[in-house]
Amino acid sequence: MFTVGAVLLIFLILWYGSRANEQDRPEYDRAPNDTRMLALHSRQDIKLVVFLLGGIIVMLGIIADRIK
């Protein structure tokens, strides 16, 4: 049960992040090149952090399901 909740939470966060990225895309295109690259790279870094934390949350969910 905890594992399913963790997976759903990860997908919800990733969906929201990609949706926000698509909504901000026109602003990236209007920005100067340096600012655009910085914003896109920071979004990719945040996505990497979400994947890593998501893996930890799933592992903790599996452990919690086994203990329960």
| Tens-digit pLDDT profile for residues 20-63 | 777 877 776 676 766 666 766 777 788 888 888 888 988 888 89
Q: How many folded domains does the chain comprise? A: 1
- Six-digit token pair at 3? 């594992």
Report how far residue 2's alpha carbon sits from residue 63's, in angstroms, rounded to the nearest whole number. Answer: 9
**Sign of the four-CA dihedral 57, 58, 63, 67:** positive
- Structural domain range at position 62: 2-67
Give pLDDT, residue 35.
66
In this prediction, residue 27 carries a pLDDT of 73
- Whole-prediction pTM: 0.60
